[in-house]
Chain A
């Protein structure tokens, strides 16, 4: 039997003495996307951080392809952009490639920046870019070859993006799904059209 990409069983999680989840199950197969919805403070971000291994206080089991979660098999884009404002977009992406130990040609960096419509902004320090452009730099990581991992965790990926940017990112997400990846993301906006997209409510509406 093949493993689900992400398999969460009986998750119980507290934050600041408040129970966010009890008996929470979630299964995500390859080529499936799931949108997490829920009011502010419902625990969407905490859930993503639990899965990424950055919120240690939980009970239950979280498995990635049948094994404990390891950082090299997922890609996490959080509220904090993971982009250094003092460095240029190209330097930031180069660092992300290096972190994953990627040894290919550096041309993929400019290809990824082209992809998110930041052609010509390669050498500008990120703090001089607009909020939307900075968001695009953070999301350009999705277009790097190191993004070809089984699971994407995207926390509010569409904030600050314009319509064209939204379309770009949904295009990247669709490509990953076509490549048998799984995506778990949160957003308050209506989700883009994606094949195999499910919605999961957390908190009040459950």
Chain B
């Protein structure tokens, strides 16, 4: 019994150590941190300018625009997810040494979500106001993003891990993961649209919650497996 308690502490050390390292790395480069957020804001400000400043038109397309911009902003941050770690050899050390690899992978994805998905979620209602999003749709939009962005980050993580050994993996990464993002997009947008037409948005939100729990528990295994292959490639 003592041994298993000690093992658990080791696992915690492994998880916490990776999380601490990745957050330090992320906050050590404020510009990289700000890029996806700036992209998100800029893309959304382009819509009233480019499509129509008409409040009615904007309100109609607001959920879709916000979600697509969030999706692309997430994609933007993905390419660098494992690239630098691979180049400096820390990735191969992680794959070699961490037992099990699942835990540092979860920590890595959590750290990445904290600096991408979370700020996007918090910014969205503000930008929604700019697009004349119905006030009652703000909370469902945020909830949808809070549940959906972890799924996007995790699915994207699989793509990033698979393309980590490639020199120009960026386009391939987008082609790999964008189709996988579609269900999340549909559910997220429909939650916000239902709410803005006065209907309960709980259906799509519950689906997103189910998807998020499934993704959080299973997808890190796929990322870990893909990283092993990526390290073997060279």
Contact = CB atoms under 8 A, between A and B. Distances in A.
Q: A and B: partners?
A: yes
Interface residues of A, number: 32
Contacts, number: 91
A87 B28 contact: yes
A56 B88 contact: no
Interface in B1-21: 6, 9-11, 13-14, 16-18, 20-21
Nearest to A91: B24
Contact of A54 (B11, B17, B98, B231): B231
A81 B89 contact: yes
A98 B16 contact: yes
Given A53-B96, A95-B18, A98-B14, A80 B89 contact: yes
B97 interface: yes
B13 A98 contact: yes
B99 interface: yes
Contact of A52 (B13, B96, B99): B96
B96 A76 contact: yes
B99 A98 contact: no
B96 A84 contact: no
Contacts of B96: 52-54, 71, 74, 76
A28 B24 CA distance: 40
Secondary structure of the B contact surface, majority rule = helix
A87 B93 contact: no
Contacts of A98: 13-14, 16-18, 20-21
B98 A99 contact: yes
Given A87-B28, A95-B18, A100-B97, A55 B232 contact: yes
Given A54-B231, A55-B232, A86-B29, A99 B85 contact: no
A85 B9 CA distance: 29
B136 interface: no
Contacts of B11: 101
A101 to B, nearest CB: 3
Contact of A80 (B10, B21, B29, B92): B92
A12 interface: no
Nearest to B19: A98
Contact of A99 (B24, B87, B94, B232): B94
Contact of B13 (A53, A102, A125): A102
25 contacts: A53-B96, A54-B92, A54-B95, A54-B231, A70-B99, A72-B97, A76-B92, A78-B89, A78-B92, A80-B89, A80-B92, A83-B88, A84-B84, A85-B88, A86-B25, A87-B24, A95-B20, A95-B21, A96-B93, A96-B97, A98-B16, A101-B14, A102-B13, A103-B13, A125-B28
Interface of B: 6, 9-11, 13-14, 16-18, 20-21, 24-25, 28-29, 84-85, 87-90, 92-99, 104, 231-232
Closest 3 A/B residue pairs (Cβ): A98-B17, A80-B89, A101-B10
Interface of A: 52-56, 70-72, 74, 76, 78-87, 91, 94-103, 125
